[in-house]
């Protein structure tokens, strides 16, 4: 791993900065802080509209995706380049959030497993920011153990009829399309017999019910599917052959989370410390130094992942180390910012300092400990793949899904 940017990477960074500075959205950061701390469809829709407009600007300028191949509208560059662009973008624009599932996960999966017709239908609209996607994977009894999913699809002529329930579906309330996993053959072992669909979220029979989180926002949802009819042509990767596309989606999700920069920059923590007097308190100075150290370690770990990605290596166990480091960091930093806020940490949203962003920082830590694979699951992966410990005992391996007790 080389810590210094190559002359080509430095030139690319300069190019990113130049383009971003010349094309910034008129409303600055683009994020309304209240959109992440309260549940208000109007505020949220306005945020989604800003995200779409910014994505369209990027698409028109040729910056819609750094890593998608050129033939699908991307720049066809490496994960390192993507990291450079995102780093510079994050300093200037925050209206990027709603495309993580689409451009970051569904798009690469369609590129890898889709038919020509699917690529033509879905990829351009995704990259132009016209269609937002959500991920209909988790179910009430299938999260960490995704292979246990029970939502059933049964073929009826040229269509499939889907019944079941999904949960924790981020952004389903404003999504146009979803990537949906269903059980299509319960006589096969659990990781087989799964079919991956692309589903229009306006299809009759889909009901989206928001779930209000600890932060006050309703970021994710329960999604009920009752006799939802999906055309056969919307299958990605073949009937009962969903596990391949699932792995592509999940490895892109891990790379996305692992490659994400931390929510708060150290300069912002230092500013808060200065405003609250935390920088004159020895115990808090100690915690600030620890936060700085964690951020530096994650930065270099990020370089390691990007270096691997630029060599064409799939994200390995280092993405689990990174995901775990990020969520532990969010926890410790969340505690620190609340300690610096002192009694005013009990205030909420508009009444609180900086419109409640520090409360959000604190309360948001649990989401990152669970979403995209829990801390325990990351520890299992590290234990098995890095430390060579014995794997979990899998009593349902090779057993037909129908025979697994529920
Ligand atoms: C903010 C957020 C956004 C999300 N967005 C989406 C989304 O858009 N789409 C989607 O499909 N899902 C989404 N999820 C769901 C997420 O993927 C699941 O919550 C996660 O995989 C955990 O599954 P679970 O909630 O069913 O918990 P479970 O798997 O039931 O786990 C419960 C507890 O048991 C532990 N545990 C489970 N298995 C093991 C094991 N083998 N070894 C040790 N401990 C174990 C877990 O760590 C956890 O503490 C989101 C979750 C969050 C928090």
DSSP state string for 221-278: EEEEEEEEEEEGGGEES-TT--HHHHHHHHHHHHHHHHTPPPSS-HHHHHHHHHHHTG
Cα separation, 296 vs 43, in Å, equals: 35
Residue 165 Cβ inside 6 Å of ligand 1? The answer reads: no
Q: How far is the CA of 268 from the centre of ligand 1 (A)?
A: 30
Cα separation, 265 vs 13, in Å, equals: 19
**Whole-number pLDDT of residue 34:** 47
Residue 144 Cβ inside 6 Å of ligand 1? The answer reads: yes
pLDDT tens for 95-136 read: 667 999 999 999 999 999 999 999 999 999 999 999 999 999
**Whole-number pLDDT of residue 58:** 96
Nearest CA, atom 3, ligand 1: 371
**By the 8 A CB rule, do 401 and 189 touch?**
yes
**By the 8 A CB rule, do 186 and 150 touch?**
no
Residue 215 Cβ inside 6 Å of ligand 1? The answer reads: no
Residue 169 Cβ inside 6 Å of ligand 1? The answer reads: yes
Q: How far is the CA of 317 from the centre of ligand 1 (A)?
A: 18
HSE (side-chain half, CA atoms, 13 Å) at 225: 30
Q: For CATH 2.40.110.10, list the domain ranges present in the chain.
A: 133-244
Q: How far is the CA of 18 from the centre of ligand 1 (A)?
A: 40
Nearest CA, atom 50, ligand 1: 371
Q: Strand, helix or coil at 79?
A: helix
CA-wise closest residue to 113 among 245, 247, 254 = 245
**Whole-number pLDDT of residue 1:** 54
Q: How far is the CA of 371 from the centre of ligand 1 (A)?
A: 6
**By the 8 A CB rule, do 15 and 4 touch?**
no
159: annotated active-site residue: no
Choice among 88, 131, 253, 361 that is catalytic: 253
**By the 8 A CB rule, do 310 and 80 touch?**
yes
Q: Which atom of ligand 1 is nearest to the CA of 376?
A: 47
Classify the C-alpha dihedral 16-108-129-62 as positive or negative. Answer: positive
**Whole-number pLDDT of residue 376:** 95
**Whole-number pLDDT of residue 5:** 75
Residue 377 Cβ inside 6 Å of ligand 1? The answer reads: yes
- 296-319: burial string, b at 16+ Cβ within 10 Å, e else: eebeebbbebbbbbbeeeebeebb
Q: How far is the CA of 138 from the centre of ligand 1 (A)?
A: 8
Segment (H or E) for 161: strand 159-170
**By the 8 A CB rule, do 334 and 272 touch?**
no
Q: Which atom of ligand 1 is nearest to the CA of 213?
A: 1
Q: Which CATH superfamily is domain 133-244 in?
A: Butyryl-CoA Dehydrogenase, subunit A, domain 2 (2.40.110.10)
**Whole-number pLDDT of residue 356:** 86
Q: How far is CA 289 from the centre of its chain?
A: 28
**Whole-number pLDDT of residue 135:** 98
Which positions of the chain have pLDDT values less than 70?
A: 1-3, 27-39, 95-96, 258-263, 309-310, 312, 314-315
CA-wise closest residue to 80 among 12, 128, 23 = 12
Q: Strand, helix or coil at 206?
A: strand
Nearest CA, atom 24, ligand 1: 143
Tokens matching residue 316: 């390995």
CA distances from 108 to 146, 227, 245 (A): 20, 29, 10
Q: How far is the CA of 330 from the centre of ligand 1 (A)?
A: 17
At the top level of CATH, the class of 259-386 is mainly alpha
CA-wise closest residue to 203 among 184, 225, 188 = 225
HSE (side-chain half, CA atoms, 13 Å) at 1: 13
Q: For CATH 1.20.140.10, list the domain ranges present in the chain.
A: 259-386
Residue 378 Cβ inside 6 Å of ligand 1? The answer reads: no
């Amino acid at each position: 791993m080389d810590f210094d940017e190559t002359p080509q990477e430095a030139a690319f960074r300069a190019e990113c900065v130049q383009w971003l500075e010349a094309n910034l959205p008129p409303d600055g950061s683009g994020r309304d802080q209240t959109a992440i701390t309260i549940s208000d469809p109007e505020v949220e829709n306005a945020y989604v509209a800003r995200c779409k407009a910014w994505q369209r600007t990027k698409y028109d300028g040729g910056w819609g995706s750094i890593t998608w191949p050129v033939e699908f509208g991307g720049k066809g560059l490496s994960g390192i380049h993507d990291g450079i662009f995102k780093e510079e973008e994050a300093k200037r624009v925050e209206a990027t959030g709603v495309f993580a599932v689409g451009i970051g996960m569904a798009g690469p999966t369609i590129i890898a497993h889709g038919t020509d017709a699917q690529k033509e239908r879905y990829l351009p609209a995704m990259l132009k920011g016209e269609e937002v996607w959500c991920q209909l994977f988790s179910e009430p009894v299938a999260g960490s153990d995704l292979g246990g999913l029970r939502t059933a699809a049964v073929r009826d002529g040229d269509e499939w009829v889907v019944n079941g329930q999904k949960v924790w579906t981020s952004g389903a309330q404003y999504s146009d399309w979803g990537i949906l996993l269903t059980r299509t053959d319960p006589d096969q072992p659990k990781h087989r017999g799964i079919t991956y669909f692309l589903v229009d979220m306006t299809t009759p029979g889909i009901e989206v019910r928001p779930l209000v989180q600890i932060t006050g926002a309703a970021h994710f949802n329960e999604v009920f599917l009752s006799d939802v009819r999906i055309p056969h042509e919307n299958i990605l990767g073949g009937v009962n052959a969903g596990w391949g596309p699932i792995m592509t989606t999940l490895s892109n999700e891990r790379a996305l989370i692992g490659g994400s920069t931390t929510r708060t920059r150290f300069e912002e923590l230092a500013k808060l410390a200065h405003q609250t007097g935390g920088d004159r308190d020895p115990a808090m100075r100690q915690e600030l130094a620890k936060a700085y150290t964690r951020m530096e370690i994650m930065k270099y770990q990020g370089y390691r992942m990007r270096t691997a990605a630029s060599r064409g290596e799939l994200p390995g166990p280092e993405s689990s180390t990174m995901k775990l480091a990020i969520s532990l960091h969010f926890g410790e930093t969340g505690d620190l910012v609340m300690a610096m806020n002192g009694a005013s940490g009990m205030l909420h949203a508009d009444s609180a300092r900086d419109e409640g962003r520090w409360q959000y920082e604190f309360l948001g830590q649990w989401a990152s400990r669970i979403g995209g694979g829990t801390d325990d699951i990351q520890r299992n992966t590290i234990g098995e793949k890095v430390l060579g410990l014995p794997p979990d005992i899998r009593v349902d391996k090779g057993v037909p899904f129908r025979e697994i007790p529920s």
